[in-house]
Amino acid sequence: MPSVMPKIGALGKILGPRGLMPNPKTGTVTMEVGKAVQEVKAGKIDFKVDKYGIIHTGVARVSFENQKISDNANEVLSTILKLKPTAAKGTYVKSVTISSTMSPGVKIDPKSISK
């Protein structure tokens, strides 16, 4: 809630670099806490784009089944393709790489992504 943010501000040095700091832009600071929790449980996709146009997002956890990981990855990729601006010309997705947190990435053929 916004009223608690001044108290959490002291934790900014710890939470900020880890990407855990609440932010009104991402919907983590709101007066409607119940609605925000429902959105997350319903499968709200949250991704970050760096200045080079690379999209970073979590797809699954180690405990997930293979089919669930595949379904989640396909859903993220289809969402990204749906968000493609109409003015964008040429190849929108140039490469796709998936990896766990501390392992080398595995390249995926962008043409194999269902549109």
pLDDT band at residue 114, thresholds of 50, 70 and 90? low
- d(CA 45, CA 68) in angstroms, rounded, equals 15
Number of other CB atoms surrounding residue 13 within 10 Å: 9
Q: If we measure between CA atoms, which residue out of 53, 56, 45 comes closest to residue 19?
A: 56
- d(CA 76, CA 97) in angstroms, rounded, equals 13
Domains of the chain, each with CATH number or no CATH = 1-44 (3.40.50.790), 45-115 (3.30.190.20)
Task: Give the model confidence (pLDDT) of 64-110 as tens digits.
Answer: 899 988 888 888 888 888 888 888 788 888 888 888 888 898 898 88
Whole-structure pTM over 0.85, yes or no? no
